[in-house]
Structure formats: structure tokens, C-alpha cells
Amino acid sequence: MALLQIAEPGQSEAPHQRRLAVGIDLGTTNSLVAAVRSGMADVLADENGHRSVPSVVRYTPGCSPVVGHAAATGSGDSRSTIRSAKRLMGKGATDLVDSWLCRHYRFDLDSGSVPAFLTADGPRTAIEVSAAILGRLKHTAEAALGGELVGAVVTVPAYFDDAQRQATKDAASLAGLQVLRLMNEPTAAAVAYGLDNEEEGIVAIYDLGGGTFDISLLKLQRGVFEVLATAGNTELGGDDIDNAIVQWLMDKACIERLADENAEAAAKVYARSLKEALSTSASVDVDWRDDAGHHVLCQLSIEEFNDISRPLVMQTLKPCRQVLRDAGIDREDVTAVVMVGGSTRVPLVRDSVAAFFERDVLTSIDPDEVVAIGAAIQANILAGNKAGSDLLLLDVTPLSLGLEIMGGLVEKIIPRNTTIPIARGQEFTTYKDAQTAMALHVVQGERELVEDCRSLARFELAGIPARVAGAARIQVLFQVDADGLLTVSALERDSGVVASVNVKPSYGLSDGEIENMLRDSMKHAGEDMQKRVLREQKVEAARVLEALAAALQADGDEHLDAEERARIDDLVRQLSDVLQHSTDREVIRQAVHALERGSGDFVERRMNASVRKMMSGQGIDAMDEAVGKARHEACTSDP
């Protein structure tokens, strides 16, 4: 007999009708799908009992793609068997430079800025490869749950930028999945541990997967998960440890390269088996032979394996130091360290992280499954299956977002590590008299100059009423949604004209660009600030020259004799020369002040003449208004 469910007052009249939603961990090496059943989140197994699916897709001519274990273990053209496609999500052709993918695959670079793997069944983009994996997970979930999904929470690395997040959404859409939300992988792990253990305090989420590394600091308190800071390396993971072991094998065999891609793939599989064996053993016997007949017969100890992998593990501790600095906390403030990702099973990884944070690390939830479980918990809430849930997720922006202003400077609107979703505005104005349009350039990065940041989008606000410079009021609004996607809008307050853009760039950041941007911003902080104040002084000097030129052209002959005009022209030449050749802010500032002093009498005469003209034929009541208007025009049009 089926059990009946009784609804509490205010709940659904049909509580047994659950909306089927899942959490998906779309990984570089392996992917998983999980769901909440009977109040517990668990990873769903496919028809063969496999709980994880290798993120591998094999293409053959005229056939449907083979996904998962069959693709990873079966024979076939290695160049048509695509692995680690996640590393190219949202990336452009220029990002292939120095990428290890170039050594394993051929690419079609003629169809546009998005590179496509050349397979036996034609070109396939990283989005299409990911869609095939997501489609397989969707099939597994619907078979296990016995119904159609209403949506999924799909996880992404915390350092995925706008383009990479949008590419993930596109892949899900191509697979027929409704994305309820994109969720940072470290945040998903925090959800799993936070709900299960009711942890409070500051938690470090150390996530070392197959192809990416993320470290996040999260503040957990009474159901609120707030990301304080994030850092990472988009090009570092367990795959790199496997590659290091392959290189060790090649060194032992005294060979410089393997025969072909199939030999390289087989060597990586063998290297991975050695790594996994050493996670639980002090040594492992090595009996490796490649297709060319080279043979390695020896023993690999845990000590030697640690020497091989230590340089890579130490690289992960640099972002750990960075997040502590960004959050403004000390190591002793961290109350727990959660290990995520299969590569955290390596003893050296756990020992190094424990030593760094000076505390034991948490591994009670399977590190391969914790992200999918957290995503499933969030999906269950978003689907409306957990009434009254007080779970709140607060992610952060990984890099600052801002606008280009005069002088090629960056005005940051949303600083990095700002909690999202967020909407933040700032008011700007026109630079020139009678300016009727404004070009807006949206940028991302930590440096002070536009040339050192990443361009995201450009758009134009037209129809601004023609007024003197500085009179228009233009409100620019930046909005970042819960998925980290950006919308920028501009509104001229008096006229009501508006323009906006959704930031969906066609390609993502180049390899390691995010971490390089953060490192460069700290390295060049003092230099950047000096450049900024110099640029600001140059912008001010150019404004003075432009305003004075307009004033002289309008009525310079009327208010100046030849000697006065020559003196002002000489000061203008001096400032122009200094502006062009000097890099000393103080020298430029003094030249500006000299020109302002030298043209002071001219400015005063113009103001008086303007007042007399405005007062002609007017009553005494209009005097205050006329004087105020004249002063405004003199101050905004002249130096």
C-alpha cells in the first residue's frame, strides 16, 4: 500500500506532486547528476550502475556521439575523442596559443572566433561537446526519477567569466535542459556541508578538480552562505599531475615523445592508475610499455610521487594566500577547510592544505560528489519542493566591472568580490558643449587604465539634449544577476532617453588571464596610481585648452587687445607643449594654473558682458537668475 502524505496548512494541495529538478556537476574530467529523494541528496547512477560519467565524447561519421565510459575506454580516432572540452568553454581562437589541447586535437578556426574540434563527424565546438554530456546526464536523471525534469542547477568554476557562464547556459539549452541557476562549484560544496553539519564561521573551500583549481572563503551563519573572496587557476588540475607522471615515465624510458595521440592517451590512463593507487599505498609497482616497445619496470614510492607532484601542489597555495589577503583575515580565522575534487585524495594535497591552514581538512562527503549534492539541494529549493527554506546563497564577482572615462581611465562601478546579485549605479555627465551622444565602454579588470583591462562591450546613448558641458545627468546602472551575467544600462534623467546592453562576449579570458590580472594589479598598484593621476591631470589640461579655445573663437577679439591675446596664446602654446611632452603631473598642473591666471581677466570680462547682455531690457527681479546663469556658463565653458 502506498503511503499517504498530509499537507501542512498553506502548503500545496498536492504535496505528492514533486517537481523533478537536479544538480549537475559539469566537470572537466568527470560529470555527475544528483537529486533530492526522500529528503536526502544523492548522486544518480546510470543503467550500468555508474555514478559518474567521464566528460569524454567520441564522434564517428554519420552516427550519434558516444558519451562517457564507452567513449573513454573504447577504441577509435583519438582526435575525434574529445576530452577536457570544458577548458575551451567560452574561449576564442587566440586562447589556443600554448594550450595543451593544440597538441592533441585539430581545430577549425575559419568559421569564426569560436574554435571547433575537427572530428570524423565534422567540426564540434566545446558547447556542443558539453551539450552531449549534459544530454546524457539528463537521460540518466529522467530514467532514475521516472519523469521529465523541470530544470537543473549547473555548477561552474568560481572563476568562470561572463562568456564561459553563457557558454554553459547555451550547452544546457542545446541539451534540452532548463537552467534554474548557474552555481559556483565551491558554493555548492558549502551548501552540502553547511546543511548537513550546520557549520558556522569562515570556511575555506579547496577545489582541485581534473582541469581547474578554485579556492573560496565563505562565511556561513544561520543558513546564509556568503562568499568573502575567491581565487584560483583555470589551467591547473589533476590532469596536470597525470601529465607529470607521464613525463616521469618517459624520462625513465629515455624517450622525448610518445608515438602518437593514442599512445599519449594510454599513458595518461596508466599514470592516473598509479596516482590513484598511491592515494592509499606507500608504493606501487610500475610495469609500463608503450607501443614503440619502450619498457619501464620499477617501483614508484609515495616519496618520489610527492617530489613529482609537489611543484603543482605548491602552485595551489598561492591563491590560498591571496584569498586571505582579499578577505582581510588570518589563517586562524578559518574554522573549517572543505576538500572538493577527486585530486584532493592525493595525500600530499591534503597534508599541504592542512599544514597551510593549520587544521585538519574535511572529507566526510565524497569529494567527487559533494558539488553535485550541493547543486541538487539548491535545485530542490528552486523547484519549490522545500517550502519555507531559509537557504540564501551570496556569490561574488571575481573581477571588477567598470566604464572607460576620459583619458583612458577605468571607473570601477562594481569592485571585485562584491556579493551578487547586485545592482549599482553611478552618475556621469557630458565632456563637451552641445554633446548629444555618449559612447560607453564596459571593461573588466583591476588595473587603472583601460588598455590593461579586458573589454566586455560597447554601446551608445544617443538623443542627449544639447547643453553646456557638465549639465546633462546620465545614470549608468550595472546589474549582475545570480548567474554572474551582466547588464549595463544608461539613462539621461531629464529627457528619459535610455540604452542598454547585455554583456555576452563571443570569447572568454585567455589561459590564466584572471589570475594574471589579479597578480598584475597588485604588482603594479603604485605605478598604476601614478599613471592615473597623470592621466587625470592631462584630461583636466585638455579640458581647459578646449574650453579656452572655444571662448577665444567666440569673442576673443571683442574682449582682448593684441598684447593680451598674444600673452594668452603664448600660455596656450606652453601648456600644449607640456601636455604633449611632459610626464610630470606637477609640471602640467603648474602650466594649467599659469594659463588660468593669465586668462582670468578675459574670463571676468566675458562674464560681465554676458550679464549685461542678459539684463538688457529685463527687470530687477531677473538679476539673480541672470548672474547665476552667466557664472555657470563662464565656469563651464572657460577655464
Domain limits, the chain = 21-237+310-395, 397-523, 526-637
In this prediction, residue 38 carries a pLDDT of 85
Q: How far apart are the first and last CA of the chain?
A: 89
pLDDT in tens, 88-116: 888 877 776 556 677 778 887 764 567 88
CATH tag, 397-523: 2.60.34.10
Residue with C-alpha cell 591666471? 597
Instruction: Give yes or no for a contact between 437 and 460, defined as CB atoms under 8 angstroms apart.
Output: yes
Residue 437 pLDDT exceeds 50 = yes
Average pLDDT of 442-463?
Answer: 85
Residue 427 Cα distances to 469, 478, 491, angstroms = 14, 12, 9
Residue 638 pLDDT exceeds 60 = no
User: Which residues carry out catalysis?
Assistant: 25, 86, 185, 207
In this prediction, residue 152 carries a pLDDT of 96
Residue 66 pLDDT exceeds 90 = yes
Residue 506 — very low, low, confident or very high, per pLDDT cuts 50/70/90?
very low
In this prediction, residue 298 carries a pLDDT of 92
Largest interatomic CA distance in the chain: 108
User: Do 21-237+310-395 and 526-637 show the same overall fold?
Assistant: no
Residue 67 — very low, low, confident or very high, per pLDDT cuts 50/70/90?
very high
For 101, list phi and psi in degrees, rounded to 5. -60, -30
* Lowest pLDDT segment from 228-237, 505-514, 524-533, 568-577: 505-514
Average pLDDT along the chain: 81
* Lowest pLDDT segment from 322-331, 340-349, 510-519, 529-538: 510-519
CATH tag, 526-637: 1.20.1270.10
In this prediction, residue 331 carries a pLDDT of 93
Residue 43 — very low, low, confident or very high, per pLDDT cuts 50/70/90?
very high
Q: For residue 254, count other CB atoms closer than 10 A to its CB.
A: 8
Residue 51 pLDDT exceeds 90 = yes
d(CA 300, CA 292): 22
- Angle 157-163-167 (CA atoms, 0-180°, nearest 5)? 80
For 428, list phi and psi in degrees, rounded to 5. -125, 175
The three-class DSSP label of residue 639 is: coil
In this prediction, residue 224 carries a pLDDT of 66
pTM summary value: 0.58
The three-class DSSP label of residue 33 is: strand
pLDDT in tens, 134-164: 999 999 999 999 999 999 999 998 778 778 8
**All three cell numbers of 14:** 498536492
In words, the CATH class of domain 21-237+310-395 is alpha beta
In this prediction, residue 516 carries a pLDDT of 61
Residue 611 Cα distances to 36, 433, 547, 555, 608, angstroms = 76, 20, 19, 15, 5
Looking at residue 135, its amino acid is: G
In this prediction, residue 615 carries a pLDDT of 64
For 248, list phi and psi in degrees, rounded to 5. -60, -45
**All three cell numbers of 601:** 581677466
Residue 389 — very low, low, confident or very high, per pLDDT cuts 50/70/90?
low
